[in-house]
Amino acid sequence: MTSSPATNTTDLKRQLGLFDAIMINVGTTIASAIFIVPATVAAAVHGSVLITAVWVIGGMVSLLGALSIAELAAMYPEAGGQYPYLRESYGKMSAFLYGWANFSVINTASIAAISVAFARYIGFFTPLSETAIRGIAILAIAGLTVLNCRGVRLGATTQNIFTILKMGALFALIVASFILPGGSAANLQPFSSTEGFSQLIKPFGVAMVAVLWAYDGWIETTYVGSEIMAPGRNLPRSIILSTLIVIALYTLASIAYMYVLSPSGMAGSALVASDAAKVTMGSLGATFVVVAILISTLGASHGIIMTAARIPYAMARQGVFLQSQGQLHPRYATPVVALVTQGVIASALTLVPKCLSIPGLFSICSASPLYDQLATYVVFAQFVFYALSAGAVLRLRRKAPEIPRPYRTWGYPLTPIIFIAFAIWLVLNTIVATPKDSAIGAGLILLGLPGYFYWKRDGR
């Protein structure tokens, strides 16, 4: 049965404004991907027009999702992101599996992978052993967790600083690519690919997975829905505006890299942003990019740590998760137990050996903990739930038309329908292109079923 937003109970305090919400989304979205992923895209598809199109289409897909889910965010301004939307639309099982997937792998593994990336880039300045890298990653997770235990206002201010710095650094890199010597419009050739449409479908899908991994984060502010002031207005605006900001920055960055390196030069680059900066700024450019990546990764990790703990908190408050996860700090009013638990799991994931095997289930081998396959796991799992959430917009329009909607999805019903169709295509394409990783992603979601039936036994 669908409930009114007014029935939500929480002890979290509304302290975050529109600017805070935008900075949370932008800061969480911009991590290390835009400094590296453009090379993956250029290697998958060829021609500057098609490369740019991948970034634009990926951004538009994210925007369609943002326009759709913004309606739900305004209807249910609760902690936990998609958890309340799925709960009210489809019931507790789908909501629980969403919460489980985010708690067990999507958010915790993302924190681990981004923190390890942060630690590895410190190695640019001083040699670090593998043990030292993992130790630094754990220290970063612990430090950011403690900071966020001490208040959402402190966490938001820290996130604002990180985000402003990383946006400034990325914008400076874009401008330098166009105005400093080294770049040329001739480098943008070839403009188009010589491959036929049928030959482009699979590589386009591979490139799109990488791009959507880079764009992921536009929904982050919904995790702290219970702490946003004037949520009916600020939640939709923050989701939409932050997505538009990131689309502009990412598209311009990709074009800037091609302007300096050419599409073929990008495809052969391990660190595309660093290589572009070296051309325009010399050795100083590489240092600048490394500093930008350090700020970006630390800020992205902080954003996830700050917001993601609200998902197990929301589940616990509904009685479908460990009761301790719903406890708040008596002074700072933060979900301190959920934050600490999240930090412990993420820290443990940084210690995963090169090969992780669970007999009879799966075996993962990677140069860094879960990093190589993480994009596939996250995009696969996220888009399953994104599709369900966009479907919830359609479902709740029929099921609960009486609930106030401070924001109504632009372009309804085409906007959610197009997004759902693309999400289904992406999930199916991912299954075909990477069946093993897709199976692992689905398996990790379904591992939450025993927990669901355990908590359901009391009739909750």
pLDDT in tens, the chain (460 residues): 455 444 445 678 899 999 999 999 999 999 888 988 899 899 988 889 999 999 999 999 999 999 999 999 999 999 888 999 999 999 989 999 999 988 887 888 889 888 988 998 898 899 999 899 999 999 999 999 999 999 999 999 999 999 999 999 999 999 999 999 999 999 998 777 666 666 777 788 778 878 988 898 888 999 999 999 999 999 999 999 999 999 999 999 999 999 999 999 998 887 899 999 999 999 899 899 999 999 999 999 999 999 999 999 999 998 889 889 999 999 999 999 999 999 999 998 888 655 444 334 344 444 433 444 555 666 677 888 999 999 999 999 999 999 999 999 999 999 999 999 988 887 887 787 778 777 777 887 888 888 888 887 765 5
Per-residue buried b or exposed e for 399-430, using 16+ beta carbons within 10 Å of the residue's own CB: ebeebebbbebeeeeebbbbbbebbeebbebb
Cβ atoms of 332 and 150 closer than 8 Å:
yes
Q: CB-based contacts of 213: which residues, under 8 Å, 6+ apart?
A: 33, 37, 375, 378, 379
**pLDDT value at residue 374:** 57
Measured distance between the N- and C-terminal CA atoms of the chain, rounded to whole angstroms: 14
**pLDDT value at residue 216:** 85
Cβ atoms of 335 and 313 closer than 8 Å:
yes
Going 140 to 142 to 145 to 149, the CA torsion angle's sign is negative
Q: Which helix (H) or strand (E) holds 166?
A: helix 152-179
**pLDDT value at residue 360:** 40
pTM of the prediction?
Answer: 0.87
At 35 the three-state DSSP class reads helix
Q: What is the pLDDT of residues 366-398, one digit of tens each?
A: 443 344 455 566 667 788 899 999 999 999 999
Q: CB-based contacts of 31: which residues, under 8 Å, 6+ apart?
A: 114, 117, 217, 296, 297, 299, 300, 301
Cβ atoms of 332 and 148 closer than 8 Å:
no
**In whole angstroms, what is the distance from residue 213 CA to residue 182 CA?**
30
For the record, the structure tokens of 394 come out as: 């359609």
**pLDDT value at residue 260:** 95
Cα 40 to the center of its chain, rounded Å: 18
Cβ atoms of 154 and 147 closer than 8 Å:
yes
Quick one: which of 381, 292, 298, 275 has its CA closest to 116? 298
**In whole angstroms, what is the distance from residue 421 CA to residue 271 CA?**
33
Cis peptide before 181 (omega within 30 of 0): no
Per-residue buried b or exposed e for 248-284, using 16+ beta carbons within 10 Å of the residue's own CB: ebbbbbbbbbbbbbbbebbbebebbbbbbbbbbbeee
All domains of the chain, ordered by start, with CATH?
14-456 (1.20.1740.10)
For the record, the structure tokens of 131 come out as: 């043990």
At 101 the three-state DSSP class reads helix
Which position has the token pair 């900001």?
A: 245
**In whole angstroms, what is the distance from residue 51 CA to residue 263 CA?**
8
Q: CB-based contacts of 446: which residues, under 8 Å, 6+ apart?
A: 97
Q: CB-based contacts of 302: which residues, under 8 Å, 6+ apart?
A: 27, 144, 147, 148, 155, 158, 159, 162
**pLDDT value at residue 103:** 86
